[in-house]
Each structure stands twice: as structure tokens, then as C-alpha cells.
Chains A and B, each alone.
Chain A
């Protein structure tokens, strides 16, 4: 069975860039990787496809296409299989139902989520309804990671996600700090990780390279392989691929959370 992971965290915190860089780093190591973009924004795989936007499952469904594997699964950097679920126009219909339908379609017509070594579900920041946890509920995710910076609001979101995971009896396999340059950031996130019963896996520095590569349609791994930050992503990828058991997280109360970020 492949490693099936989901990366959670506040919107805009860096889930998609982390996911695509980890995917690229794992592909470099020779792993077969699949990335499933579950955000209606459908921006998870763009940097693995040299800036190309692939048709989403929802786009094709809307057009009444008889969807086959080759219409929705695209080979990106070093053979990383890229799928974007997409969604309805903002404010119309039901994006959550879209994810449920797309996931069961994908299971039916493609081996991309089974015949592989790593599947990354890149989910939106806000798990606004039942549909957005469909991959977890359908048993397609066996490891969860939380991405956060050391600031109060991203940590607040991370803590909320832990509440959700605990409710779903889902284990947390590690915390990743994506730095926004806050004071004492690594220490804060490391302490947070410990207190919720997990551990800090990586500290990704804030680096404009991420954004410049992204603008040109590349991951850092592909376009700046010798950069410092590429090495950080590689280390994180190794750590994710290594065997590690997760634990159901114990969320903190808000008072403690505020204290923590005051350090």
C-alpha cells in the first residue's frame, strides 16, 4: 500500500508549495508520486507542470465528458502524477459534494492512487464541510501533517485541525513549520508540536526563491536544486518517506495557545 498523506494548515500558509516541493524531492529519490489537488482553486500541481494548468475533474464533469484516466491524470516533473479535482464557480453548487464524486470516480477509473509509492492530498485551508474530509473518511489517507508558522492565527488554525483529527480518530504524523519570519518561530512551533503530542519535522525558512520559481511555473527542487531551501525540502521528503508512527493529537486550549505565541 502506498503512503497516503494529507497536508493541512491555514489558507495561504504554504501547503501547496510544500506539497509540490516534497513531491518533486521524492520523485528525485526515485519514488513514484501522485499529487491530488483537492482545493477548488486547483493550484496544487502547477509548479510540477511547468506552469501548465491541467483540466480539473470538475471541469470535465461540467462539460459532460465521459472521463477516462488520461483526461485527468497528467505526468509532471519526473513522472509525478498530477490530478486536480477543481470545483464549481465560487458561490454556486456544492464543492464538497464535488470532492466526494471526484474521489470515487478517481478510485474507479485510475490506478494513480494505488499503484504508486506516495499519494499527497493537497487540501484547502478551510475544511468547511463533510465533503472536504472525503479522502480521510473513505480511508484514502493514512497519514496527516500540519503546516504552520509561529504566528498566533496559523497556530490557532493548526490547533483546530488537531481537534478535527482527534474527532475523526486520525493520527497526526508530524508538524511542519513554514516560516513567516516571526520571532522565535522554530521554538514556538517545536513547543506546540510537543504539547499536542507530536513533533516538529522541518523548519522551512522564508525564501523568495519559492515565489520566483513558482512564478515561472517550477518547484524549487526543479529550478533551484542547489539552493539551501531545496535541501530543506529534500530532508523533509526523506523524513516523510521514513517509517514513523503517528498519534492522535491532543489540542491545546486557547489560553495556552496565546501564551505560547507570546514567548
Chain B
């Protein structure tokens, strides 16, 4: 007997796109130029942002007649032009809703043009429930081109599965509708945090950030450490970061190194490394284990990045200070029991094209308040 799939509940608020997820993955794979095969405006904002990271994104600009007559010739033309203009060492071709619905075969253009550099073809559209599908598809294609190893592919796939679960449990996919929310006032939350540090309370200072967003989230953990140091309470703070530079795709390793370099220079001591920059869905479990062994009795915890990926079991009695960049993450975090939730609005765009830690609003607020302390 055919088995019915459990019907996935409807989610109405807009969520990350699998096309965009494929684009970011291609960037992580050090792709030089990506051709978006579809209408000119598709994924515009992210395409533009990714250029800050040095990758070029171009489009085949399909129009009404492209939809009707097919876009093969346009793709061939753009592919040839890309090779001539950019002389890339690695090319990506990414599908869009329009080109995939009309049955465009990305590979046909590649067969015709025969570029002598690897081409990662991703036949993706935005109609997948989980945007991680776009990442998996890009990685599958990279695997087929021999750009990543089977082992790395399996590792990434397992992480993505966890990431999807994290979002389903307490993230953007957890409710039919999530109201965007600006979070608690940074000034007030920073004040309360200072108070605890001044009182000599013991605190965990955890960075669990997704990939390049760590360039700004790390600034918050840095500010906490600096402020505690200044108030002679440095010994009360334990730092945990997901900055292992021995795992992940090349860009993620580079970024972990860069951030660690900055932290070291500023005298920030890493007490525990809980994973790599792409391990944010599982690094929380490592943190959880360490906490249960050593820090169960701590008074507060600052968690920046993806706070909802940290299991609550051993931290639920602590006063939690959580910093996210998703306005739709505020309500779920509050419901989980996070006491204070702060949003770093528009964080991601500011972490593209950088190689050093970027100042955060919450970090700046904390430092400023500490001046008068």
C-alpha cells in the first residue's frame, strides 16, 4: 500500500532560497564566475552581495520569449562571453525557477561550448521547502567534477541535515507564521550584562556562528571578554568558539583563521573550540557536553550567532543573552527560554568581502557602557 507522506505544515513567511544557497556554496567552493540561467532580476540582491566576496555573478536574462522559445542559445552565448571576459578557473551555472520549469538542460550548453575549466552545474529552483537542498545540489555537482572529496561531501550532507532540523525545531521553519521582531533594546541588555559581570558572576561566552557571519558575531564575544577584563572579572568568563580551521571548505577554513588571528591579537583566550564555521548546527552539542562536565553552575551565558542550535538542558537555569541576525528568530528564542534576545540587523551583508572582525552594534554598546563603569 502506498504510504502517505506526513503533510508538512504550511509556512507563510518568506524564507531563504535554495538558488541563493547554491550561489553561496559555489562561493565557498572558490568559483570565479556563476551564470544564473533565468530572468535578470532573479536573486539580484544576493548576486550583488556575493560580488563583494570576489565572485562574479552574471545572468542569461531570459525574457518572455526566452520562456517560450527556450534559453539554450542565451546560455551558450553568456558562457562563451564569461570565458572570454573573466578567464575563470572555475565556472558555476545555476538554474532558476523559470528555466527549470521549461526544462532547460544546463549541460547541453556546456557540451556545446566545451570549456577547458571545470563547470559546476546546479539544476536548482527555489521551490524546495528547505533551502539546504540548494547546497546539497551544488555539492553533488562539485563532487561529480572532482572538486570535493566523497568524505567532505558526506560530512557536509550530514551537517546540512542537522541544520535543517535546527531550523525546524526552533528556527525559521518552526511555525506557520513568525512575526519579525527587533528584539530587546541593546542598551538595556548590555547594561544588565555589565551588572552581572560587575557582580562577579560566572559566565559562558559562546560563539556559534554560521560561516562568514562570525566576522561580526565574534566581535560581541570579544567585547564581552574585553569588558570583563577591564572590570577585573576576566577569570569569571569562559570562551567557546566554533573556529576550528581544520574542517570545512577552503573559504570557511580561511575565515576561521582570520578571525582567530584577530582575537588572539586582542588577547582573547579561546578556552574551548566547539567546531568549525560550518559546524554551527552541531557545535552546540559539543558546547553542551563541555558545559555539563564543567560549567553547569555558571550564572549566565552570552550566545552569539545561532543561539537556537544550543540544547537548553544545561543552560536553562542561566540568564541567557542571545544575539541573532534574524528578526524572525526573536520569538522562537524567547519561547525556548532565552532571557534577552538582541538582533544585529543586516549583519550578513557587512560580513561579505571582509577578512577582519567587523564591529557589532551590541559589542559597541557594551564597550561604551563599560567606559562609565
Residues of A at the B interface (CB closer than 8 Å) are 55, 60, 63-68, 71, 94, 96-97, 100, 129-131, 133-134, 137-138
Contact = CB atoms under 8 A, between A and B. Distances in A.
B4 A94 contact: no
Nearest to A104: B123
A131 B7 CA distance: 27
Given A64-B7, A130-B70, A137-B108, A71 B2 contact: yes
Given A64-B7, A137-B108, A129 B2 contact: no
Contacts of A131: 102-103
Contacts of A66: 2-5
B244 interface: no
B104 interface: yes
A94 B102 CA distance: 9
B102 A55 contact: no
B144 to A, nearest CB: 14
A96 B104 CA distance: 11
Nearest to B103: A130
A129 to B, nearest CB: 7
Given A100-B103, A131-B103, A134-B103, A65 B70 contact: no
Given A64-B7, A65-B2, A96-B103, 17 more contacts: A64-B4, A65-B3, A66-B3, A66-B4, A66-B5, A67-B2, A68-B2, A94-B101, A96-B101, A97-B101, A130-B104, A131-B102, A131-B103, A134-B103, A137-B105, A137-B108, A138-B105
Instruction: Tell me the interface secondary structure of chain B in the complex.
Output: loop
Contacts of B105: 137-138
Nearest to A70: B2
Nearest to A132: B103
Nearest to B105: A137
Contacts of B2: 55, 60, 63, 65-68, 71
A71 B4 CA distance: 11
Contact of B3 (A55, A68, A133): A68
Query: Could you say which of B2, B70, B102, B108 has the most chain A C-beta atoms within 10 Å of its C-beta?
Result: B2
A43 B28 CA distance: 48
Interface string B3-46: 11101000000000000000000000000000000000000000
A94 B3 CA distance: 25
Interface in B94-108: 100-105, 108
A65 B108 CA distance: 33
A70 B183 CA distance: 51
Interface string B78-104: 000000000000000000000011111
A130 B103 CA distance: 5
A164 to B, nearest CB: 12
Contacts of A65: 2-5
Contacts of A97: 100-101, 103
Q: How large is the interface on B (under 10, 10 to 19, 20 to 34, 35 or more residues)?
A: 10 to 19
7 contacts: A63-B4, A65-B5, A96-B102, A97-B101, A100-B100, A130-B70, A133-B103
Given A64-B4, A66-B3, A129 B108 contact: no
Nearest to A134: B103
A68 B103 CA distance: 24
Contacts of A64: 4-5, 7
Nearest to A71: B2
Contacts of A100: 100, 103
Given A55-B2, A60-B2, A130-B70, A137 B103 contact: yes
Contacts of B3: 65-66, 68
Contacts of A137: 103, 105, 108
Contacts of A94: 101
Contacts of A96: 101-103
A68 B108 CA distance: 30
Nearest 5 A-B pairs (CB), nearest first?
A: A130-B103, A66-B5, A71-B2, A65-B2, A131-B103
A20 B168 CA distance: 47
B141 to A, nearest CB: 14
Contacts of B5: 64-66
A60 B105 CA distance: 26
Interface string B271-306: 000000000000000000000000000000000000
B4 A129 contact: no
B122 to A, nearest CB: 14
Interface in B197-233: none
Contacts of B7: 64
A134 B101 CA distance: 11
A100 B101 CA distance: 9
A86 to B, nearest CB: 14
A131 B105 CA distance: 10
B102 A130 contact: yes
Contacts of B4: 63-66
A129 B68 CA distance: 9
Interface string B91-132: 000000000111111001000000000000000000000000
A171 B72 CA distance: 20
A129 B108 CA distance: 16
Contacts of A68: 2-3
A241 B103 CA distance: 30
